[in-house]
A = this chain, B = another copy of it.
């Protein structure tokens, strides 16, 4: 399984992905699921992947290959984030239709992608791209998307995240969402890859890979456990009719 989360907020974009893949519980590997592309000062693009690993790697490879061979259209030749979303969606659709030409088992090869970024002179965008190649766009009302094993980490996002949240706070919120998922589901695993993009910077961030022993992440996780335990204790005591 996989868990990827992406935010489009007032001040920028945040992307966090785990790196665990599994084909059965005895076949677990570490694979990157967060990719960045871009031209410094002109465009920044991030793609996160969930689902069949052969499919998602093929999509990324086709997109990279086009860039390398300067075949158009490619991620750097089209003019808007919308056109990039269309290009990624079409690439995904072609990969799946090629591999399933002789079978009906489309679901086995399906995947989801999150695409975020900004092109000079235009707004930041964040898309959730489906296996069929179509997509939806994040808004101020719904400033985040999740793909993969998303349920464990959804409550904290639904409850704490708002469009106006500063980026450093949003990163903490995302990391808590991941920590909750890591604790409740072994198919999502460390290390985590994070990217924070500041609005209008048009800078390609290095990002940070967070390993299991990362002191900041450990501190975050411990403090969050304390917050929840203390939070439950401080809740008002149920009235007697709850206990009768």
State the A residues within 8 Å of B (CB): 151-156, 158-160, 167-169, 171-173, 176, 180-181, 183-185, 194, 196, 198, 205-206, 208, 216, 219-220, 223-225, 227-229, 231-239, 241-244
Contact = CB atoms under 8 A, between A and B. Distances in A.
B158 A183 contact: yes
A194 B159 CA distance: 24
A236 B226 CA distance: 13
This chain: how many copies in the complex? 2
B208 A241 contact: yes
Binding site of A, secondary structure by majority: helix, strand, loop or mixed? helix
Contact of A238 (B151, B168, B185, B205): B168
B232 A196 contact: no
Contacts of A206: 244
Q: Which 7 A-B pairs have the closest CB atoms?
A: A151-B151, A155-B180, A227-B231, A172-B235, A154-B184, A196-B243, A160-B232
Nearest to A170: B232
B168 A229 contact: no
Given A242-B194, A243-B168, A235 B176 contact: yes
Given A238-B168, A242-B208, A156 B228 contact: yes
